[in-house]
Chains A and B, each alone.
Chain A
Amino acid sequence: MATAVIDSHDPHAGAHPATSTGLNNTKIAIWAFIGSECFFFASLISTYLIYKGRSLVGPFPHEAWTDPSTHQVYKAILNIPITSVSTFVLLMSSLAMVLAHSAVVRGDRKSSKIWLATTALLGATFLGFQAYEFTSFVHEGLTIHTNLFGSSFFILTGFHGAHVTAGVIWLLTLLFIDMKRGLTPDEAINVDVCALYWHFVDVVWIAIFTLVYLIK
């Protein structure tokens, strides 16, 4: 049933073994994983949208709220300017990621190190913004236990942040390998797979930014 597509005389065939599809199995696996992640984030986004506007007590995302028992006023909790900057940072990290992959393909070791480090740094910066946001929310009275908005918001953005954290660790691992012995063009598939994961995390944030932060 399985038929090898790669010609045994092909000088590039050593990069991955012959497969019945003619495609790299690692890359098929990451796309299948990304497909399954679509369901994962769709379930979290659904939960957020279903609970949207159904919180009985504040703080609320887009409007101020006065606690009737204490008369304390809670302002709208979401900080759009800060989140816009962190969104820009994540978008730029995707640009750095494609440049890192391109550098590895070309065998440009200096550029690959610079762009891998830049991507990891921008990812870490995004996480810093998220840590700041979570901390300020807790200080302003919104925790995961406060209301339906708090629960669904922290779960959704927290899982996204966990994915970014995994991506940053993955990037730092690639950077370490690149610094230790160098990533060759034959190993570009390893960077490509990491890049696909990283871009997926980016597109999930594109959806979250609109659905959670911008739509009132």
Chain B
Amino acid sequence: MAADHSHSMAHDDHGNAGSHEHTHPDWGTYKWVALILTALTGLEVWIYYLPSFTATKLFVPTLLILSAIKFTIVVMFYMHLKYDAKLFRALFVGPLIIASFIVVGLLFLFNHVKIQF
């Protein structure tokens, strides 16, 4: 990834106040993020059309992992969560974790996911 540039300021581009070191991505980083997102999307679609792979147990976990990577990259770099205040991170990641547990819990409740002992 391209190097980030940093600057110290009392009020930064994202509306944060306080004298703290703040960094945000530059054009090079944004370009690389876009390329990686495109490549990962291409990879997802490619494995969708691989009958030998879709028949295996790896198909769904692979897609979920690729999707999670894309999700994380957008949130970290485009939404600047990697560089922003911790409160913003808490406001997003907290509900996201609870929402994920709700989805998984409901899938267990309706017998879509079963644990075999």
Contact = CB atoms under 8 A, between A and B. Distances in A.
Q: Check if A and B associate.
A: yes
Identify the interface centre among A36, A98, A209: most chain B CB within 10 Å of its CB: A98
Interface in A37-51: 38-39, 41-43, 45-46, 49-50
B63 A23 contact: no
Contact of A39 (B49, B67, B102, B110): B102
Interface in B29-56: 30-31, 33-34, 37-38, 41, 44-45, 48-49, 54
Chain B binding site: helix, strand, loop or mixed by DSSP? helix
A39 B95 contact: yes
Given A13-B17, A22-B18, A49 B107 contact: yes
A10 B10 CA distance: 7
Interface in A93-114: 94-95, 97-99, 102, 105
A203 B23 CA distance: 23
Interface residues of B, number: 52
Given A16-B17, A27-B88, A95 B30 contact: yes
A41 B98 CA distance: 12
B2 interface: no
Interface string A1-31: 0000111001011011011011110111001
A99 to B, nearest CB: 7
Contacts of B45: 80, 84, 214
Interface in B55-106: 59-60, 63-64, 66-67, 70-71, 74-75, 78-79, 85, 87-88, 91-92, 94-96, 98-100, 102-103, 106
Contacts of B88: 23, 27-28, 31
Contacts of B17: 5-6, 10, 13, 16, 18-19, 22-24
Interface string A116-140: 0000000000000000000000000
Interface of A: 5-7, 10, 12-13, 15-16, 18-19, 21-24, 26-28, 31-32, 34-36, 38-39, 41-43, 45-46, 49-50, 52, 80, 84, 87-88, 91-92, 94-95, 97-99, 102, 105, 185, 188-189, 192, 195-196, 199-200, 202-203, 206-207, 209-211, 214-216
